Amino acid sequence: MPIYLGGVNPLYGYSQLLHGAVGNKLALTETFVIFAPLLLCGIAVALAFTCKFWNIGAEGQLYSGGLIGSLFAVYATSIPSVIAIPVMMILGFLGGAAWAAWPAILKVKLKVDEVVTTLLGNWVMTYAVATILFGPWKNPVTGWPESPVISETTDYPILVAGSRFHLGIIIAMLVALAFYVIIRKTKWGFELLGIGGNQTASYAAGINVSRQIILAAIVSGGIAGLAGVGQVAGIEFHMKTDLSPGFGYTGVVIAMVGALSPIGVVLASFLMAVIVQGTQAMHRATGVPWALAETIQGIILLCLLVGLFFTKYRVRLRMR
């Protein structure tokens, strides 16, 4: 409807969307560049949601991981890549994990609603990053709020010549594989599913529910932190106030559309990446606002929620 009202043939508009996302090598690799942080944020949210820890803070955890990773990467000039890149990833993971740990502890110890704490934590972290980038790390030459360029030894290698297809995309896929193994093949995954299904029964079965929720939150935040590291080391090469256009929030949509399943999250992440990348191409070709991507994502989530409602409840009309 927005395309039609804009005076553009919808068939032409959506054909441009698909071509801009998967129509050639460059388009496909750019779609994968967007796919990587979306996949990591989707996995982060899905892992937390599995045990009913409602982590809405992947955006802040992404920024926390990117910031902590950058603090190391900027000054790692004399460290070889084989050491610098893993260390940067570990620090980014710990940065995101730390930012997810305190809402989990508040939930378990004080029964504080994690939706509120994780959501507000996004703003606290983004403003903290802005304070640093407008302050001690402000570019003295341009006056732009960005960190110094990170060391070349911490740059993610480019894996496809002539593109931006970098190591972080493979890392995201490996994390997705690990998520599948955890949920489907391990005792911890079984316990998380049990907690999500019935906490009372999990307590009765001897599962330490509080500890598992905190651990799930920590791992969830760490995975989102890796998304921040990937943006810094694979795309931007310095910390920025606009490091993410909302990948963490889209991760919530991805987790829901993917039904919290590993395969579903991967497919939903690729779908969202196609929409984001494709609408940019459609905007260039037709003038339709690129914000249409968010409209499409919202419609997908709304349809999903309506479908879930009608599968869970039987609606009957009653005559008075």
Q: Residue 95 in contact with residue 286, Cβ under 8 Å? A: no
CATH number of residue 163's parent domain: 1.10.3470
Q: Is residue 320 part of a domain?
A: no
**Count of the separate structural domains present in the chain:** 1
Q: At 171, list the tokens.
A: 């890392």
Q: What is the spatial distance between Cα 318 and Cα 320, in angstroms, rounded to a whole number? A: 6
Residues of the chain with pLDDT under 50: none
Read off the pTM.
0.94
- Per the domain annotation, does 166 fall within a domain? yes
Q: What is the pLDDT of residues 256-315, one digit of tens each?
A: 999 999 999 999 999 999 999 988 888 787 777 767 777 888 888 888 878 877 877 887
Residue 110 lies in a domain: yes
The reported pLDDT for the residue numbered 92 is 98
Any domain includes 168: yes
Start-to-end C-alpha separation, the chain: 38
Write down the pLDDT at residue 3.
Answer: 67
| Structural domain range at position 305 | 2-315
Predicted local distance difference test score (pLDDT) of residue 4: 64
Q: Is 26 exposed, middle or buried (0-12, 13-18, 19+ CB in 10 A)?
A: middle
- Cα separations in angstroms, 101 against 104, 161, 221, 222: 5, 39, 8, 10
Q: Would you call 255 exposed, middle or buried from its count of C-beta atoms within 10 A (0-12, 13-18, 19+)?
A: buried
